[in-house]
Amino acid sequence: MTYLRPYFASVLLLAGSQIQAAEPAQENRIIETWGYSAKTPATGVERGRQVYEQWCAICHETGPGMAGTQGLQRKYKGAVSPLLREREDLSAEFVEYIVRNGIASMPFFRKTEITDQDLQFLNDYLVKKGD
C-alpha cells in the first residue's frame, strides 16, 4: 500500500467508515468524503482536528510547499510558532475572523465548506485553554 502521511491517514479512516453498501456486489461504490454526510462522525476537539486536517493542514503544516506556514514565518520571524496547531495565542474570535474574511492571499471560506458549528469545533482544537 502506498505510504500515507499521518494526517492523511486519520482523515481516510473517517472516509472509510462511511462507505455505504449501496450496491453490495461492488464494495467500491459510494465513498462519502469527509464532509457533511448524515453520518457526521465526531464532535468537539476530534471534529475540530478533522476540520483542521481537511482545510488548514494542506497549507499550514510542516514540510516544503506550505505557503501558510512560510507566510507566518515571514510575518512573525519566529516570535510565535509558524504552525497554527502550536500557537498558544490564538483566540476564537481571531480564528473566526480569518476563516470568514481571509488574509493576504488566503481566501475566506463559505459555510458549505466550514459550517459555523465546525468553526466552533476548529476552535476547540486550535484555541488553547491554558490548562
- 109 lies in the binding site for other proteins (CB under 8 A): yes
Q: Of the ranges 43-51, 76-84, 88-96, 99-107, which one interacts with other proteins (CB under 8 A)? A: 99-107
**Binding-site member from 2, 77, 78, 130 for other proteins (CB under 8 A):** 2
130 φ/ψ sector (left φ>0, alpha ψ -120 to 50, else beta): left
* Burial 50-77, CB ≥16 within 10 A → b, else e: bbbbbbbbebbbeeeebebbebbeeeee
- 85 lies in the binding site for other proteins (CB under 8 A): no
- 92 lies in the binding site for other proteins (CB under 8 A): no
- 110 lies in the binding site for other proteins (CB under 8 A): yes
Applying CB under 8 A, the site for other proteins has a residue count of 44
Nearer to other proteins, 24 or 64 (CB): 64
x/- map, 3-42, other proteins, by CB under 8 A? xxx--xx-xxx-xx---------x-xxxxxxxxx------
d(CA 73, CA 24): 50
Select from 35, 31, 84 the least CA-distant residue to 58: 84
Select from 130, 121, 129 the least CA-distant residue to 56: 121
